[in-house]
Amino acid sequence: MSAPVAAPYCRFEKIGSPDLDGDETVLGVIEHGTGHTGASLVDGVPRTAVHTTTRDEQAFAEVWHAPGPVESGTDDGIAWARTGEYLFGVGRVHESGRYADAVSALYTRIFGLTRSLGRPLLARTWNYISGINSANADGLEVYRDFCVGRGQALDGLGVDPAGMPAATGIGAHGGGIACVFIAARGGVRVNIENPAVLTAHHYPAAYGPHPPVFARATWLGPGEEGGRLFVSATAGILGHETTHHGDVTGQCEVALDNIARVVGAENLRRHGVPRGHVLADVDHLKVYVRRREDLAAVRRVCAARLSSTATVAVLHTDIARGDLLVEIEGVVR
- What are the two backbone dihedrals, phi and then psi, of residue 53, each rounded to the nearest 5 degrees? -155, 175
Cα separation, 145 vs 139, whole angstroms: 10
Query: Which among 332, 28, 333, 331 has a CA at the least distance from the CA of 179?
Result: 28
> Catalytic one among 31, 62, 85, 327?
327
Determine the Cα–Cα distance for residues 219 and 263; give it in Å rounded to an integer: 10
- The candidate with the shortest Cα–Cα distance to 27, out of 86, 75, 109, is 86
**CB-count exposure of residue 301 (10 Å: 0-12, 13-18, 19+):** buried
Helix pair angle (142-157, 100-116), 10° resolution? 40
In Å, the largest CA–CA distance within the chain is 58
327 is catalytic: yes
Buried b (16+ CB within 10 A) or exposed e, 161-197: beebbbbbbbbbbebbbbbbbbbbbebbbbbbbbeeb
Q: Which helix (H) or strand (E) holds 153?
A: helix 142-157
Q: Three-state DSSP class for 203?
A: coil
Residue 307 CA to residue 68 CA, distance in Å, equals: 30
Active site residues: 327
